[in-house]
């Protein structure tokens, strides 16, 4: 019997770069590619550049990020200066998108980087950045470019995940966890992803066909009814770009790697009840734990948290849309990330361990014909608009989910955190 030798770290890293470019961003021949990377993840960024050129990219560039620079500003810059936005950093994204290019972002930061910073400073900066970045964000929300989000270890984050290990061992353990979660540790990760994406496609199509009026989450301290937007469409796995400014569209991409979820748009005016988070949330460098929110008529009327409460409340006060939901997502408790038993302190991973909801903007493509709707028509169908979109986890093995029909009947969708079919 032939025994396949285990992959080396270098091969897993190359696998990760290739699947990010091919399955994640779906880079096409002739496209420009922008890669956003922390300085600590430069080796991965360089492999992504190589992989992009092998996929036929006409030009691949890198925009570097640095936690230390960010923290220095929030510690030492004067009050009143946080509305200033580094426009060239956003303009780089917009320029590539308008040229029909692709954007790949490596998001890796200390989860509590700004935990000791005045939340008002963070909120002021976040609102100004989101306002200037809105045209690019709208392209993302309408699938008008092929983009992808991944992550990679940095020492401060690894130490938080694996506090009992040496710095070097913690980084290696985090790499192992990321490779497993993204299937980069498999001999043929691209084939594995194609199989996984087909499973997600079948699940999203079944849910879209059912056209539930609402979902009811019940278990633990949660009793929440989430109405679904009229003519909603479930997403999950890969998607295809929509036509934009003379571009044909139709490029298949998978925005998040990893991804285990199927999701759709809630109705902005039909969410009622109480929901409690099942995992902490790292938001803009601050840890928020024990979130408890009550909705009436779609709007948040009470909100609190065991820690990070001021940050939570300022996030909710971003604008009118941040008082409402823009996403509801279902994830089985048996997902690979959940089975790992690890908490990543990073929404990209943790949202794929549990069902979740998102405060803020809805994705236009989660409504049938939503990409073409104007703002008034989108809202009339139940879609929500906001400068922000923040996912947080509400699922566990204690949560049941029922699909509610317009006639009042209900069907079991999940039991004890698992899909019924």
Q: Quick one: 128 and 210 in the same domain?
A: no
Residue 2 belongs to a domain: no
| Alpha carbon distance 322, 316 (integer Å) | 5
Of 113, 148, 182, the one marking the end of a domain is 182
CA distance 127 to 134: 10
Whole-structure pTM value: 0.90
Structure tokens at 357: 């909801």
213 plus 319 within the same structural domain: yes
Indicate if 157 and 303 belong to the same structural domain. no
- Do 379 and 348 lie in one domain? The reply is yes
Asked, for residue 3, whether it belongs to a domain, the answer is no
Same-domain pairing of 153 and 197: no
Task: Using alpha carbons, list the distances in angstroms from residue 56 to 17, 87, 104, 318, 364.
Answer: 15, 29, 15, 41, 30
Per-residue pLDDT of the chain (421 residues; tens, 9 = 90+): 666 788 999 999 999 999 999 999 999 999 999 999 999 999 999 999 999 999 999 999 999 999 999 999 999 999 999 999 999 999 999 999 999 999 999 999 998 899 899 999 999 999 999 999 999 999 999 999 999 999 999 999 999 999 999 999 999 999 999 999 999 999 999 999 999 999 999 999 999 999 999 999 999 999 999 999 999 999 999 999 988 766 678 999 999 999 999 999 999 999 999 999 999 998 888 899 999 999 999 999 999 999 999 999 999 999 999 999 999 999 999 999 999 999 999 999 999 999 999 999 999 999 999 989 999 999 999 999 999 999 999 999 999 999 999 999 999 999 999 999 8
Residues 6 or more apart whose CB falls under 8 angstroms from that of 401 comprise 215, 216, 217, 218, 330, 355, 412, 413, 414
Residue 381 maps to a domain:
yes
Which residue, of 182, 217, 249, is where some domain finishes? 182
Residues 388 and 245 in one domain: yes
At residue 7, the pLDDT reads: 95
| Inside any domain, residue 205 | yes
CA pair distance 93, 99, nearest whole angstrom: 10
The pLDDT of residue 2 is 63
> How many structural domains comprise the chain?
2
Helix (H) or strand (E) holding 281: strand 281-283
Examine the domain organization and report whether 307 and 370 are in the same domain.
yes
Query: Within this chain, do residues 303 and 319 fall inside the same structural domain, yes or no?
Result: yes
| Strand, helix or coil for residue 265 | coil
Q: Is 407 a member of any domain?
A: yes
Beta bridge partners of 228: 266
The answer on 143 and 98 residing in a single domain is yes
Residues 306 and 360 in one domain: yes
Same domain, 210 and 133: no
Q: Is residue 301 part of a domain?
A: yes
Residues 256 and 396 in one domain: yes
CATH number, domain containing residue 46: 3.40.1830.10
**Domain with 304 in it:** 189-419
- Whether residue 199 is contained in a domain is answered as yes
Last residue of a domain, one of 182, 215, 244: 182
For residue 102, the model assigns a pLDDT of 97
Which pLDDT score is estimated for 286?
Answer: 87
Q: How far is residue 189's CA from residue 9's CA, in Å, rounded to a whole number?
A: 14
């Amino acid at each position: 019997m032939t025994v396949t030798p285990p992959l080396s770290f270098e091969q897993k890293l190359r696998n990760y770069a290739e699947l990010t470019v091919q399955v994640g961003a779906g880079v096409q021949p002739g496209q420009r590619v922008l890669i956003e990377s922390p300085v600590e993840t430069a080796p991965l960024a360089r492999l992504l550049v190589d992989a992009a050129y092998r996929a036929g990219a006409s030009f691949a560039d890198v925009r570097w990020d640095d936690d230390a620079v960010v923290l220095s500003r929030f510690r030492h810059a004067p009050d009143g200066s946080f509305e200033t936005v580094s426009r060239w950093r956003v303009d780089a994204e917009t320029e590539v998108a308008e040229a029909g290019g692709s954007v790949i972002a490596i998001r890796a930061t200390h989860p509590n980087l700004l935990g000791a910073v005045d939340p008002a400073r963070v909120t002021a900066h976040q609102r100004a950045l989101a306002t200037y970045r809105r045209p690019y964000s709208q392209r993302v929300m309408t699938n008008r470019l092929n983009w992808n989000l991944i992550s990679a270890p940095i020492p401060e984050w690894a130490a938080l995940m694996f506090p009992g290990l040496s710095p070097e061992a913690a980084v290696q353990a985090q790499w192992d966890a990321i490779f497993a979660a993204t299937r980069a540790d498999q001999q043929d990760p691209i084939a594995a992803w194609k199989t996984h994406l087909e499973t997600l496609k079948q699940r999203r199509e079944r849910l879209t066909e059912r056209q539930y009026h609402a979902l009811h989450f019940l278990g633990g301290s949660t009793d929440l009814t989430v109405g679904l937007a009229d003519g909603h469409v479930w997403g999950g796995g890969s998607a295809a770009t929509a036509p934009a400014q003379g571009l044909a569209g139709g490029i298949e991409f998978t925005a998040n790697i990893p991804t285990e979820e199927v999701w759709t748009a809630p109705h902005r005016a039909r969410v009622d009840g109480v929901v409690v988070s099942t995992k902490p949330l790292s938001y803009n460098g601050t840890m928020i734990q024990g979130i408890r929110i009550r909705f009436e008529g779609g709007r948040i009327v009470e909100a609190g948290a065991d820690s990070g409460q001021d940050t939570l409340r300022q996030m909710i006060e971003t604008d009118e849309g941040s008082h409402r939901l823009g996403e509801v997502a279902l994830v089985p408790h048996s997902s690979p990330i959940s089975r790992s038993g690890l908490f990543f302190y990073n929404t990209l991973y943790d949202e794929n361990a549990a069902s979740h909801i998102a405060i803020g903007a809805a994705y236009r493509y989660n409504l049938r014909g939503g990409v073409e709707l104007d703002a008034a028509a989108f809202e009339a169908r139940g879609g929500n608009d906001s400068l922000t979109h923040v996912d947080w986890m509400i699922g566990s093995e204690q949560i049941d989910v029922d699909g509610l029909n317009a006639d009042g009947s209900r069907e079991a969708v999940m039991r004890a955190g698992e899909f019924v079919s």
